[in-house]
């Protein structure tokens, strides 16, 4: 795992990430395998993105003796961006079973590549202590920029983004608006093409995940 550049980007640098990402990208990968690969990569991302979570001591009894263990002490909100962000929810929830899940619906306008919000369950008050935005693709960064802005409006102070593949242009724009937010990614790819798709990328993540390619 390594921090890249001046901005706050943490890119997984791990053989398992490289292996599972290659399967994810491959056009031969079926939707079922695609979902599985997203889950595996999400777990790797979640481990890295939670290294700074706070713990409280927790007294417990093993079969042999009592001891001081630990529990996560912070109130954590997971915020998937529909649709494709849904694919990251279960693996992150397995690691953080007490986290809250707040859904945000956004799609990218095909002409303008601008995010259009169509659903938001984010509350207006009583913010979580830690927010984790989930979306497998950070292309222009528009969707994730808008999601992070929504979390800030809710009042969340400690936010991080988990994304599988990002484009350098999108990360740059994202950090112009949100320099305080770390982005955890499995890979930073080469560039965006003229249609604002990530190259080499994996195509349309939502369509591949939900088998809706036409
Ligand atoms: C995809 C992806 C991100 C967004 C990334 O969603 O899951 O949300 O595009 O692009 P951006 O960084 O340029 O905003 P899409 O709009 O295809 O919706 P979907 O998840 O419903 O398929
Ligand atoms: N959304 C995707 O699903 N893939 C891209 O490459 C860009 C945006």
Q: How far apart are CA 90 and CA 164, in angstroms?
A: 15
Amino acid 71: pLDDT? 98
**Using alpha carbons only, how large is the chain's radius of gyration in Å?**
17
Pocket of ligand 1 (CB under 6 A): 81-84, 106-108, 113, 115, 135-143, 170, 196, 204-206
Tens digits of residue pLDDT in 26-43: 999 999 999 999 999 999
Q: Is residue 62 a part of any domain in this protein?
A: no
| Ligand at shortest distance from the CA of 110 | 1
Q: In which residue are the tokens 């003229």 written?
A: 194
* Ligand 2 binding pocket includes 207 (Cβ within 6 Å): no
Judge whether residue 7 has pLDDT over 80.
no
In a domain? residue 189: yes
pLDDT exceeds 50 at position 127 = yes
30 found inside a domain: yes
Identify whether the C-beta of residue 28 lies closer than 8 Å to the C-beta of residue 195. no
In CATH, what number is assigned to the domain containing residue 17? 3.40.50.2020
Which residue range(s) make up the domain with 35? Answer: 2-56+68-210
The dihedrals phi and psi of 66, each to the nearest 5 degrees, come to: -95, 155
Of 42, 79, 83, 108, the residue with max ligand 1 atoms within 8 A of its CB, to mutate for a pocket test, comes to 108
Mean pLDDT computed over every residue of the chain:
95
Q: What is the pLDDT of residues 59-105, one digit of tens each?
A: 999 999 999 999 999 999 999 999 999 999 999 999 999 999 999 99
For ligand 2, atom 2, name the residue with the nearest CA: 204
Give a yes or no: residue 180 inside a domain: yes
Catalytic residues: 108, 112, 204, 207
- Band of pLDDT at residue 3, cut at 50, 70 and 90: very low
Tell me which residue has tokens 């009894």.
61
Q: Is the pLDDT of residue 4 over 60?
A: no
Whether residue 61 lies inside any domain: the answer is: no
Rounded Cα gap, residues 180 and 200, in angstroms:
28
Nearest ligand for residue 169 CA: 1
Q: What atom of ligand 2 comes closest to residue 136's alpha carbon?
A: 3
What span, in angstroms and rounded, lies between the C-alpha atoms of 42 and 182? Answer: 16
Report if residue 20 sits inside a domain: yes
pLDDT of residue 152: 98
For residue 74, the model assigns a pLDDT of 98
Q: How high is the pLDDT of residue 214?
A: 84
Number of structural domains found in the chain:
1
Span from the CA of 155 to the centroid of ligand 2 (angstroms): 28
The pLDDT value recorded for residue 172 is 96
Please tell me the pTM assigned to this model: 0.95
């Amino acid at each position: 795992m390594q921090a890249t550049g001046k901005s706050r980007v943490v890119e997984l640098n791990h053989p398992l990430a490289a292996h599972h990402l290659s399967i994810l990208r491959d056009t031969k990968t079926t939707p079922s395998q695609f979902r599985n690969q997203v889950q595996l990569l999400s777990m790797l991302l979640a481990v890295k993105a939670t290294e700074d979570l706070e713990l409280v001591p927790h007294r417990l009894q093993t079969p042999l003796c009592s001891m001081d263990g630990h529990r996560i002490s912070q109130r954590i909100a997971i915020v998937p961006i529909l649709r494709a962000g849904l694919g990251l929810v279960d693996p992150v929830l397995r690691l953080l079973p007490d986290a809250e899940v707040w859904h945000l619906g956004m799609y990218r306008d095909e002409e303008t590549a601008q995010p259009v919000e169509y659903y938001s369950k984010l509350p207006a008050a009583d913010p979580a202590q830690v927010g984790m935005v989930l979306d497998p693709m950070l292309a222009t960064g528009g969707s994730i920029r808008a999601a992070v802005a929504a979390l800030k409006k809710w009042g969340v102070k400690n936010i991080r983004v988990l994304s599988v593949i990002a484009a350098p242009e999108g990360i740059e724009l994202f950090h112009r608006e949100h320099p305080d937010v770390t982005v955890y990614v499995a890979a930073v790819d080469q560039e965006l093409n003229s249609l604002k798709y990530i190259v080499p990328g994996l195509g349309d993540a939502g369509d591949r995940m939900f088998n809706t390619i036409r």
